[in-house]
Amino acid sequence: MTQTHENRRQVLYWRLLARLFDQEEQASLESASLAVVEDIGLPPALLDPQVAIDSIVQRHPDLAAEFDGLMVQPATDERDGAAEVRRAALVSKVLLNVFNTGTGTVSAGQLSRWQADAGWLERALGCKPGELRGNRSGGRGVSPTGTGGAPAPDLGTLLPEIGPELGALEGDLVKRMHLREVLADPVLAARLTPSMSLIEQLLRDKDNLSGVALANAKALIRRFVDEVAEVLRTQVQKATVGALDRSVPPKRVFRNLDLDRTIWKNLTNWSPEEERLYVDRLYYRHTARKTTPQRLIAVVDQSGSMVDSMVNCTILASIFAGLPRVDVHLIAYDTQALDLTPWVADPFETLLRTNLGGGTDGTVAMALAQPKIAEPRNTVVVWISDFYEWNGEQLFESMAAVHRSGAKFIPVGSVTSSGRGSVNPWFRERFKDLGTPVISGHISKLVHELKTFLTS
């Protein structure tokens, strides 16, 4: 029986490889796979690349739980051959639907179906739909560890390329779609699901759109911004500015009542006979904070390779701009610099004013940023770029001068959800020597650094 299970698994995986590398059906593998799937009680639709996983789950709801965490199953000493065959069939379906993208023009429906299937792959890996592609997290409400209780994998070491690869596949599908024609049709436009790849194309093409197409493009950008903002806001919402100011008497309201301290301080008034505690004085918690105005200056490279960072940082800046006593300034640059501070509270309007693409000259951005550093000790400068500069030495010297002035300088190489980014090694080494190492990876690292500075 064990050998039978092994043979069945091999048939399913050989069929998967054949399908991925050759669009033509291999008759013997197809028939053998069909026999395996039917024998183990799975629907034959699993073998049809044209059938979306959503469609299968709608017809067979019990399979949803099997897809969640499918590829992060915990290792056990005892092997279950039948379960491994079943898992191989489900894994094959997910991988085939996601990685077999075909050729030619893509419709809005095909893109939407692929995005949904990619979400199932991310769920199978124990993540949320959109998380590995550098998009907003959320969608189906699946926990990061899936529903099976298996620990999520360390995707940085286990599958270092999966997130960027998914993003690249999605980007290719978007490019193969006649986007302007789709946007001009309200019915087709309504089928689009906003993603980082789609937003990048919309931002690049926005100046060529008008009328209904432009309105639909703006609606998609707005939806994406709102969804990302909701995720980032949960990471920032606990941030407070300033230490407790004990020179200000606590406000005597019920929500500030320190019940434990009140009981402790009045224990001498306990009456054993009456079994009652008499309270002479109520104690309240201090909530007032010492608030020193803090200034956050975010400088973002808006060249074509930095679209994820531009979107994430623009939204993050707007969230911090909503905190009390935080003065936020936003500068975007390529070969020219643009001060976006007047629109920093509205990331949607800010993104519409960006111009992705072009070269990179950080010196023009520094010329705008330096005059804004009025009180260095209360200023943090976040510089987000891949630091591939044509005038690198001059820019680094000005950055080092900002650091020496007493301002907090944070160089960031990537603030994407997937964590992949390229940083000029020359700059990376010099930032390390300066004592300001480049932050790379998940945007939560930048959120942590900013919260630490703003609440210290």
User: For residue 236, what pLDDT is reported?
Assistant: 67
- Residue 415 pLDDT: 58
| Of 127, 131, 130, residue with least CA distance to 146 | 127
Q: What is the pLDDT of residue 394?
A: 94
| Strand stretches in 263-366, DSSP E | 270-271, 276-277, 294-301, 326-333, 337-339
- Write down all domains in the chain, each with its CATH number in brackets: 2-165 (no CATH), 294-454 (3.40.50.410)
**pLDDT at residue 314 in the model:** 84
The model's pTM: 0.62
DSSP state at residue 272: T
Reported as type and span, the H/E element at residue 37 is helix 27-39
Contacts 24+ apart (CB under 8 A), 275-283: 282/252, 282/257, 283/257, 283/258
How many residues would you count in the chain? 456
| Per-residue confidence in pLDDT tens, the chain, 456 aa | 577 888 888 888 888 888 887 766 678 888 898 898 888 999 998 888 889 999 999 989 999 999 988 888 665 657 788 888 998 999 999 999 999 888 888 888 888 889 899 999 989 988 888 777 765 443 333 333 333 334 444 444 444 467 778 877 888 888 888 888 899 999 888 888 888 788 878 887 888 888 999 999 999 988 888 887 777 777 666 544 444 445 556 667 777 788 888 888 888 888 888 888 888 888 888 665 544 458 889 998 887 556 677 777 888 788 878 776 788 899 998 888 999 999 988 888 888 888 766 678 899 999 999 999 999 998 999 998 888 888 889 999 999 999 999 999 999 886 554 445 678 899 999 999 999 998 876 677 777 777 777 666
Distance (Å, whole) CA 220 – CA 223: 5
List b or e across 270-281, with b for residues whose CB sees 16 or more CB atoms inside 10 angstroms: eeeeeeeeeeee
Angle at which helix 443-454 crosses helix 307-321, to 10 degrees, equals 30
Helix (H, G, I), strand (E, B) or coil at 451: helix
- Dihedral, CA atoms, 44, 49, 52, 55, nearest 10 degrees? -20
8 Å CB contact between 82 and 103? no
Report the distance separating Cα 398 and Cα 381, nearest Å: 12
Q: What is the pLDDT of residue 73?
A: 66
pLDDT of amino acid 418: 47
- Separation of alpha carbons 369 and 384, rounded Å: 13
Tokens of 191: 């089928």
Query: Which residues have C-beta within 8 Å of that of residue 175, sequence separation ≥ 6?
Result: 201
